Amino acid sequence: MAKHGADEPSCRSGSLDGEGRASEDRSLLRQRLAVQELIDTEVSYLHMLQLCASDIRSRLQQLPQGDLDVLFSNIDDIIKVNSRFLHDLQETASKKEEQVQLVGNLFLEFQEELEQVYKVYCASYDQALLLVDTYRKEPELQRHIQGIIEAVVPQAGSSGLSFLLVIPLQRITRYPLLLQKILENTVPDASAYPVLQRAVSALQDVNTNINEYKMRKEVASKYTKVEQLTLRERLARINTHTLSKKTTRLSQLLKQEAGLIPRTEDKEFDDLEERFQWVSLCVTELKNNVAAYLDNLQTFLCFRPHEYSLDIPEGPAVQYCNLARDLQLEAFLTFKQRLEGLVWQPLCSLAKALLGPQNLIKKRLDKLLDFERLEEKLLEVGSVTYQEEAARHTYQALNSLLVAELPQFNQLVVQWLGQILRTFVTLQRDLAKQVLQRAEGSMAQLPHHHVPEPAFRKLVEDTLGRTSNQLRSFQETFEKVLPPPTTQPLLPGSERQAQALLSRYGPGKLYQVTSNISGTGTLDLTLPRGQIVALLQNKDTKGNNNRWLVDTGGHRGYVPAGKLQLYHVVPSAEELRRQVGLNKDPRCLTPEPSPAPAPSIPTVNQVIAVYPFVARSSHEVSLQAGQPVTILEAQDKKGNPEWSLVEVNGQRGYVPSGFLARAQSPVLWGWSLPS
């Protein structure tokens, strides 16, 4: 009996040890089954992805390419990552004892890659579902898509595309569950246990980060839309809620400006925003410069000297015309087409791509004001409503998205900008090369092509010297016989503006524009020929004497000094009438003997027509610019000085008085070379 009692504890401990070993064996078996389930499901999953990417996508080519890009997103990147992951996962099967630990390390190794590819796919998933819904509204298209999917993947059933599109989302969310199952069947003191714990935590973080990224993208897609709304549509959107929000934000902003409440400082974002604004300014300036370049190029192409007859039958002039025609029709035209396609259009696309981030930055400021107000409320009250908590999360999502993606966006824009500039330089170089090649062929036919360059330079200098002497002699002769220049009259309808400038600045400050001026800078003015301006300063802020600051009576700005000449006041219509009438000196007290009665002869005055005028009735007469005109009466029958009765080429009629200017001599003016 004593012996039997002594053996009983040992039997019981042996039984416990046996049960423990059996339990460990069962856990080990479940662990291996869980690992095998991970590998088998990964094989099946990768096979399904390959079917979607190859068979199904290739058979849906009738859909627009943009739709296919949204539906299948970056599925090719997912296949690449998961193919390497599956290969390494199958390699662990050869090491049974270390397999579990190797699986955990493998997930830690692929953590970052899995997050990068799956967050892109998940962010576009909702947009893909919207496309699927639109296909369902077209029965014929839906039947075609459903037939393709059922032929390739019969298990998809009536779900069709929706069944396939959700598979990557289900897989990334299942990884933590499969790892957790392996972890539960691993003893805590095993060396693989902490590795599996880290792997489970890492995959849970991956899913959390994907959800946050997806939420940020949804917020961004909501606020990056740039809508072109009319004033009526904007007013229709105003309600008490929007008025309340805008009033609260304005109040918050005013408090910050007054220093009553602190402003949230975010130096990281401020630096990113500053760089973004700098990049945006560079794109805008380059776009404006290229637009001006294209305009000038178009103007240059409109000038075709080779189409004019030079009355020179042969020689270098003909060769020049042939070269100019060749460049005009081929080299310059091709250059313009390439410039528009390779520089202008990408630049416009780049400028358009900036609109979304600009709107997002603007919305962030609004949401920051809401966030700051809610933070104050949270400190005072201790709680916020559900809507207020959502507003806080909206700002945090916007800020996180901008801080995360603005650096990459800025870098891409700079690279894009640099590529556009390099392309522009290359186009210029190619054009110069083509022009030189074509010009060399034409120069070979010139009579002096065999002359060495130093001798040719000497020949050109001598020829130019003789020509300049002839031109100078001709100019001196021309100036001797040229009549004094007549003052340009005011533009029709601008008399009142000129009188205002005259009374304000005096005659010594008035200048007239000699040719049309097109302003290119911010402070430059665009003025027509004949405009009267008042000189404010004969240099700009940098001391450049070639740019003058002027006043037009309504605007102030800079114009080229070379396109201004001192204005001499043109006599008004009343003065013209006084000049037409007989002048009598009121100081002469001795009466002159009255002449004998004679037939009434109207007093005449000789002027010239400054602007062309087309008669509109039999009471008017047509004019040509520069045509001599004889004024018969400086007013119409009703005494209106704006119309004058004139005689032109034997015809009498009325013309606008503002279209005439005084001539310095009553005789017909002109010039002729001395005999």
How do residues 112-124 score in pLDDT, each as one tens digit? 999 999 999 998 8
CA 145 to chain centre: 39
**Can you give the residue ranges of every domain in the chain?**
20-224, 264-444, 452-482, 494-569, 607-662
Is residue 145 within 8 A of residue 161, CB to CB? The reply is yes
Residue 304, pLDDT score: 75
Q: Give the CA distances from residue 462 to residues 471, 472, 669, in Å, rounded to whole numbers and listed in that order.
A: 14, 15, 38
Residue 550, pLDDT score: 93
Structure tokens at 244: 């309340």
CA distance 408 to 402: 10
User: What is the reported pTM?
Assistant: 0.50
**Do 607-662 and 20-224 fall under one CATH topology?**
no
Helix (H) or strand (E) holding 456: helix 453-481
Mean pLDDT by 10 residues, the chain (675 residues): 50 56 76 90 92 86 87 91 92 84 92 92 88 89 87 80 89 93 88 91 92 79 64 68 73 75 80 90 92 87 72 67 79 88 92 86 82 81 80 81 86 93 93 84 71 83 85 73 49 71 85 85 84 90 88 88 80 52 42 39 66 83 86 84 87 87 50 37
Residue 666, pLDDT score: 41
Residue 421, pLDDT score: 93
Burial class (CB in 10 A: 0-12, 13-18, 19+), 133: exposed
Residue 235, pLDDT score: 67
Residue 523, pLDDT score: 84
Q: Which CATH number fits domain 607-662: 3.30.830.10, 2.30.30.40, 1.25.40.10, 2.40.30.10?
A: 2.30.30.40
How do strand 628-633 and strand 605-609 relate by DSSP bridges?
antiparallel
C-alpha dihedral sign at 48, 49, 52, 58: negative
CATH superfamily for 20-224 is Dbl homology (DH) domain (1.20.900.10)
In this structure, which long-range contacts are made by residues 289-292, counting pairs with CB atoms below 8 Å and at least 24 apart in sequence? Answer: 290/343, 290/344, 290/347, 290/424, 291/344, 292/520
Q: Which CATH number fits domain 494-569: 3.40.50.360, 3.30.565.10, 3.40.50.2300, 2.30.30.40?
A: 2.30.30.40
CA distance 67 to 106: 35
Residue 286, pLDDT score: 92
Structure tokens at 172: 């990334």
Three-class SS of residue 150? Answer: helix
Residue 438, pLDDT score: 80
- Cite the beta strand spans of 503-642 per DSSP E: 510-513, 532-537, 547-551, 556-560, 564-566, 605-609, 628-633
CA distance 401 to 376: 24
Q: Which residues contact 86 (CB under 8 A, 6 or more apart)?
A: 39, 42, 43, 46
List the alpha helices (DSSP H) in 315-385.
316-326, 332-339, 345-353, 355-381
Fold that domain 264-444 belongs to in CATH? Substrate Binding Domain Of Dnak; Chain:A; Domain 2 (1.20.1270)
Amino acid at 339: L
Dihedrals phi, psi of 451, to nearest 5 degrees: -75, 135
